[in-house]
Amino acid sequence: ELMTLPDSASRKDFIVENGKSYASSFIEEKLKEHLRSYNSDTCENGEESFFVADMGEVYRQFLRWRRHLGKVQPFYAVKCNPDKEVLRLLALLGTGFDCSSRGEIEQVLSIGLDPSRIIFANPCKPPSHLRYARRKGVGKLTFDSADELYKIKKIFADAELVLRIVTEDSSSVCPFSHKFGAPLKSTRRLLEIARELELNVVGVSFHVGSGATDPQVFVQAVQDSRAVFNQALDLGFSPNLLDIGGGFSGESFDAMSQILSEALNTYFSGDIQLIAEPGRYFVSSAFILASNIIARRDVVNEGGHKDYMLYMSDGVYGSFMDCLLSHWRREPRILTSACDKSSSAAINYSIWGPTCDGVDRIIENASFHTLLDIGDWLYFQDMGAYTICLSTSFNGFTCDRRICYVSSEPAASAMLTY
């Protein structure tokens, strides 16, 4: 059961006259406030990047989900950002959790969650993690191969199994179908094996790829899931769970969810539990990263003017790994600059991370009417998904980032007592 919450907040409520959203000026103020609270000249490691995390934005995304896709219970994909405050807020709001390993299950259980609110949604699980799931009573598991079924038979024979099917996810930013998902031509055979092994198949799942762009992929996947449901029914199972995976993004959610809802109504009208595994959708816009310019080089361009290379305190081996893996572009904005007058001509920059590796480039081209210099701070929005969890300490740079939690939404502050 989802908690009853007032449907008051929406992004719309946060627009102010100059076209800038209240939430973003609120965040800018919080970033500056945080920066003032430690003096980078005297503080050791004072140039290290830090996050401001707006729990109000996570809360608004939750309300938006409920408005547009209320029939589907979200199981937040912990892998996307296992931040403890995000987990705490979502747990209070009543979501479930998609965990992919023992570590993630441990983390979710440690906030006091009932194991029935977890799905262990990794189709290829290490045996010891599977044993741990059995010990803790985390009984909903995904699978997509015969070998996983044999493993489950040995270790956790009374689990509730969800068959993950393949999707046509080539239009997504991060496709998964080359690694996971049973092809449709194999699903009947897999269900027969599950039957022979006396295992309990309770449903079907899919994932359309992270950063999915084509709503028709969802429609096709729902239709395919129906066909697999029918196969399962045919073989004497009683499937009652459809898991529509993740892949939702804040930008396309409203349109995407409408098409998806229609498909769900068409193919799954009965008494079926509908769940999803959104990650990026909940957290991407909630985290803003501030990063310091630690070095600068000038380069004379073809027109004889100077361009600049900026070296930041964070890079692709830190919070920007997703830029390297998925070519996701991040827009830099100026947080503070010592330069007090703007230049009439735009100044071009390329923006790099701090390590000695040549691939450590965050942005190839950016321009500002400000001459940026060492010590200035930039910030980047939409940094909540696949950032903190992918950071490394390559070259000896720390991967621990300070996170300043705020809330632009009174209801969320009240729940978390900020």
DSSP 156: -
CA distance 37 to 47: 13
Comparing CB distances to ligand PLP, the nearer of 246 and 353 is 246
CA distance 122 to 182: 13
Comparing CB distances to ligand PLP, the nearer of 244 and 310 is 244
Regarding 77 and contact with ligand PLP (CB under 6 A), the answer is yes
Q: What DSSP element (H or E) covers 277?
A: none
In the set 175, 279, 315, 332, which binds ligand PLP (CB under 6 A)? 279
Least distance in Å: CB of 172 to ligand PLP? 8
Q: What DSSP element (H or E) covers 55?
A: helix 55-69
The interface mask with ligand PLP, positions 33-72, x = CB under 6 A, is: ----------------------------------------
Least distance in Å: CB of 277 to ligand PLP? 4
DSSP-derived secondary structure for 3-49: PP------GGGGB-TTS-BHHHHHHHHHHHHHHHHS-TTTSTTTT--
In the set 120, 206, 229, 248, which binds ligand PLP (CB under 6 A)? 248
Comparing CB distances to ligand PLP, the nearer of 124 and 371 is 124
Comparing CB distances to ligand PLP, the nearer of 122 and 408 is 122
**Which 366-385 positions form the footprint of ligand PLP (CB under 6 A)?**
385
Least distance in Å: CB of 192 to ligand PLP? 25
What distance, in Å, lies between the first and last C-alpha atoms of the chain? 25
In the set 9, 23, 87, 121, which binds ligand PLP (CB under 6 A)? 121
In the set 56, 139, 245, 318, which binds ligand PLP (CB under 6 A)? 245
**Which 80-99 positions form the footprint of ligand PLP (CB under 6 A)?**
80, 98
Query: What are the start-end ranges of the E strands in 212-283?
Result: 241-243, 273-276
Cα 207 to Cα 25, 278, 342, distances in angstroms: 35, 10, 47
Query: What are the start-end ranges of the E strands in 38-153?
Result: 50-54, 72-77, 96-99, 118-120, 140-143
Comparing CB distances to ligand PLP, the nearer of 213 and 336 is 213
Least distance in Å: CB of 37 to ligand PLP? 32
Q: Which stretch binds ligand PLP (CB under 6 A): 38-46, 244-252, 323-331, 372-380?
A: 244-252
Residues sharing a CB contact under 8 Å with residue 265, sequence separation 6 or more, in sequence order: none
**Which 197-216 positions form the footprint of ligand PLP (CB under 6 A)?**
207, 210
Q: Which of 382, 336, 337, 372 is nearest to 352 (CA)?
A: 372
Q: Which of 46, 77, 64 is nearest to 5 (CA)?
A: 64
**Catalytic residue set:** 356
Cα 248 to Cα 86, 191, 213, 283, 352, distances in angstroms: 17, 29, 9, 11, 29
Q: Which stretch binds ligand PLP (CB under 6 A): 101-109, 279-287, 292-300, 399-407?
A: 279-287
Q: Which stretch binds ligand PLP (CB under 6 A): 125-133, 150-158, 229-237, 274-282?
A: 274-282
Comparing CB distances to ligand PLP, the nearer of 77 and 166 is 77
In the set 82, 215, 239, 278, which binds ligand PLP (CB under 6 A)? 278
Cα 271 to Cα 43, 160, 229, distances in angstroms: 59, 18, 13
**Which 282-301 positions form the footprint of ligand PLP (CB under 6 A)?**
none
Least distance in Å: CB of 137 to ligand PLP? 21
Comparing CB distances to ligand PLP, the nearer of 55 and 141 is 141
Contacts of 327-330 with CB under 8 Å at 24 or more apart are 327/173, 328/173, 328/211, 329/363, 330/362, 330/363, 330/380, 330/381, 330/382, 330/383
Which region holds residue 61: left if phi is over 0, alpha if psi is between -120 and 50, else beta? Answer: alpha
CA distance 109 to 113: 5
Q: Which residue number is nearest to ligand PLP in terms of Cβ?
A: 246
Q: How many residues bind ligand PLP (CB under 6 A)?
A: 18
DSSP 251: T
Residues in contact with ligand PLP by CB under 6 A are: 77, 79-80, 98, 121, 176, 207, 210, 245-248, 277-281, 385
